[in-house]
Amino acid sequence: MPSFQPLVFSGVQPTGNLHLGNYLGAIRRFVALQDSHDCIYCVVDLHSITAQLVHDDLAGQTRAITAAFLAAGIDPEKHIVFNQSRVMQHAELAWIFNCVARIGWMNRMTQFKDKAGKDRENASLGLLAYPSLMAADILVYRATHVPVGEDQKQHLELTRDIATKFNNDFSDRIGQLGAGVDMTVGDERVNGFFPLTEPLIEGTATRVMSLRDGMKKMSKSDPSDLSRINLTDDADTIAKKIKKAKTDPEPLPSELEGLEARPEADNLVGIYAGLSDRSRESVIAEFGGQQFSVFKPALAELAVEKLAPIASEMRRIMADPAYVDAVLRNGGERAAVRAEATMKTVREIIGFVGD
């Protein structure tokens, strides 16, 4: 029996500056997966209008994220890099998923609650339906693996719920059309049209925290620029932000357990481990017992060494917007062929009359 071909899909919103959390939690993982998987990486511009409709420079932001993908080492020829809005099948499948998903599921999403704030009635309908579009992004390619940071876990669980409900509700039609694929879910063998996608939340930096508050996620929307390291920050800015990062007065512990009640110290150790591709244990083995006055300069040096080449490559790529646009156009054309193949069957499964 055939089963789903492994396929990696992930997306990044073109809103605000890319930061170290995006890089360590997502983009660096995207790069690593290219050797073992077929990958599709998307700049999700349709998502960026859910929280804020009008943007000063959405096109520029879209090109900047694309440049970051390429500068980090994503190969747009072997794999696919494109912006979401040019492949209309994402929006088409999202509409169908709006009719599969239940309002209660959407209301439970913590990201919706955070972004909508107190005045939920005034949030856009798109913000509520955001996870339907995210499920569509993934499932329009019937992708099996999705590398993301920890904050996207709940959305990926919802993606599985949507796939399961679609597979169940249309099981007869899927069977009649022979469109199902066998897959293993837990101990069971089941058949369905959409795979139950696996989140890949891996590495030592799946949740990079703010440099100003170890209990808050590092985020593009934090009003304090000191809270994050942007991928485009220069060496002096990176060093200054790390120097100013909140810490406690104790030296670093010599055992990992000693970080448990010290969120800021834990975060800096996690960042060091992420940037150097080492475990937290090995970072603690090297720096345990040292003061932050020793650890912070070492971290700043490492961050500059890893990020500066990406920033300069990003600038080089962005200086040629025609090249970036050509990458997105070419990626979009290849993505659309795959997305249309899925949608043709989806339309048949549902019973829409077409050609």
Rounded Cα distance between 63 and 317, Å, is 9
> Taking contact as CB under 6 A, which single stretch among the options 121-129, 142-150, 162-170, 341-349 is the one that binds ligand TYM?
142-150
Minimum distance from residue 178 beta carbon to ligand TYM (Å): 28
Tell me whether residue 224 or residue 293 sits nearer to ligand TYM (CB atom). Answer: 224
CB proximity list for 7: less than 8 A, separation 6 or greater: 37, 38, 39, 40, 141, 142, 143, 144, 145
CB proximity list for 187: less than 8 A, separation 6 or greater: none
CB proximity list for 84: less than 8 A, separation 6 or greater: 11, 42, 43, 44, 45, 46, 47, 90, 137
Residue 137 makes contact with ligand TYM by CB under 6 A? yes
217 is catalytic: yes
Q: Virtual CA dihedral for 79, 83, 87, 90, nearest 10 degrees? A: 100
Site string for ligand TYM, 216-255 (x = CB under 6 A): -xx-------------------------------------
Minimum distance from residue 133 beta carbon to ligand TYM (Å): 7
> Taking contact as CB under 6 A, which single stretch among the options 10-18, 118-126, 298-306, 339-347 is the one that binds ligand TYM?
10-18
Residue 21 makes contact with ligand TYM by CB under 6 A? yes
Residue 74 makes contact with ligand TYM by CB under 6 A? no
Rounded Cα distance between 208 and 272, Å, is 11
Rounded Cα distance between 42 and 339, Å, is 13
Minimum distance from residue 15 beta carbon to ligand TYM (Å): 7
Active site residues: 115, 217, 220
Q: Which residues bind ligand TYM (CB under 6 A)?
A: 9-13, 21-22, 25-26, 44, 47, 134, 137-138, 146, 148-149, 151-152, 206-208, 217-218
